[in-house]
Amino acid sequence: MKNILKFFLSSYLLILTTVFFLYSAENKTLKNGVSVIFALDPTVTTTAIQIWVAVGSTDEDKNISGISHFIEHLIFKGTPTRTQKQIAPEIEKLGGIINAATSKDFTYFHTVVPSSYSLKAAEILTDAVLNPLFPEEEIEKERKVILEEIKRKDDNPQSLLFDEFYNHVYLNFFRYAQKVIGTEETVSKLKRDDFLSFHKKFYVPKNIFVVVTGNFNKKEMLGFLKNSFGKLKKLKKEKEKFKETLIQKIAVKLKDAENFKYSFSEPYKKTIKKDVSHSYIIMGFPAANIKSDDQYPLDVASYILGTGRASRLYKKLVEETNLAYTVSASFATHKGPGLFYVYAECSPENTSTVSNKILIELNQLTFENVTDEELDRARVLLIRDKLLQEQTPDGKAEELGFYAALGNKKITDNYIKNIKKIRPECIKNVISKYLIFPNIPTVIITP
């Protein structure tokens, strides 16, 4: 039965792979350095347009923490040629949706519209991103919104858990420890001049990646992008060095992510008492960055450990023993060191037991090979998830933009091939490389 199931899953993935690779991405670079990525699919009726800017909370000094996220809130508030009502509401009139998001490494703005309106939508989104007015009245409105958002996040046990966890794990890379949303103190002090200065410094050709996927006229779209993004001034060489210098400061003389393990010479465990009904647990360790091939076995390891009902932790903590309500594992990819972590929720009386069992399972990966069955299952699920994301133009665009903004476009084309290469010993080797047992950073929120 297992062999039959494996056969059907493999066949399903083969079919999906064949279909989705018919429409591969084209990468172009405008003369000033703006990156353009097209993935044409004439079989769909919509177009996704996304503008990714390689700037996030890791680019912020402490006194302006949260400014990238604040700018995200202000981008759709008006330009010299468009009012606020002529941006997001106009996209909606076209039958589209428009939104934005900020992370530690990037900010991106995205829209999906019927294909017949792709050029019009591109014009609106481009104008909003490149020419924001940052009106004073809108700054004050959004400041109130963000301050309220900060309070809600502090009251949310999951948000608090992850913030505390990042804060400890990235002690030596302090900018990764900073909250994307900022703090009440910094958000309250940001001025219009701060937004203008930050936008001018970072919304520049080298940091911009325009992704267009779905059904659209490539010639017309490229012509428009050349006439809009192509007019941005290219940075002078001395300014182009800014990002590299910043990363060097973040590194604090650490050569790569592997050196993080030496920061945890003693066990770290923080328990936070809060008015909650059950316990929240997170533990993990920093690992490979976006340039490292270690990210592939780390992805597979996370699926073996805690993705799906057949994963090790789900079976042992939820299905077989009812010790936990939920458990999952993940590898978060960053431009700098990524983060491998396990998250669980359980009743307060089971907190210690669940934590210890997670530690045991993590450590077991360092000295015992996973089974072929576990490996096959994880690879199938990973490849399935990647291919399913590519079913829609916006899903495809998000994948292309994410890896481009993080600095490794090749992952999109090579991901499946590299996942298929993973062998049992790869999992053992990569976890052993980054994990020092039992010094695993842990944060717990409990009643």
Question: What is the average per-residue pLDDT within 407-433?
Answer: 94
Question: What is the average per-residue pLDDT within 344-355?
Answer: 98
Judge whether residue 257 has pLDDT over 60.
no
Give the pLDDT score at 7: 53
What topology does CATH give the domain 257-446?
Answer: Cytochrome Bc1 Complex; Chain A, domain 1 (3.30.830)
Give the pLDDT score at 267: 66
Give the pLDDT score at 21: 47
CA distance 289 to 380: 23
392-409: per-residue pLDDT in tens? 999 999 999 999 999 999
Same fold, 24-251 and 257-446: yes
CA distance 336 to 347: 35
Where in the chain are the domains? Answer: 24-251, 257-446
Judge whether residue 10 has pLDDT over 60.
no
382 to each of 6, 176, 206, 405, 409, how far by Cα in Å?
Answer: 14, 26, 31, 22, 19
11-35: per-residue pLDDT in tens? 555 554 544 444 689 999 999 999 9
180-206: per-residue pLDDT in tens? 999 999 999 999 999 999 999 999 999
Give the pLDDT score at 264: 54
CATH of domain 24-251: 3.30.830.10
66-90: per-residue pLDDT in tens? 999 999 999 999 999 999 999 999 9
269-301: per-residue pLDDT in tens? 899 999 999 999 999 999 999 999 999 999 999
Question: What is the average per-residue pLDDT within 28-53?
Answer: 97
Give the pLDDT score at 5: 46
CB atoms near residue 407 (< 10 Å): 14
Judge whether residue 258 has pLDDT over 60.
no
Residue 420, both tokens: 């298929």
CA distance 7 to 361: 29
231-249: per-residue pLDDT in tens? 999 876 534 444 444 443 4
145-160: per-residue pLDDT in tens? 999 999 999 899 999 9
Name the CA radius of gyration of the chain, rounded.
23
Residue pair 444/162 in contact by the 8 Å Cβ criterion: no
Give the pLDDT score at 11: 54
Q: What amino acid is encoded at 329 in this protein? A: A
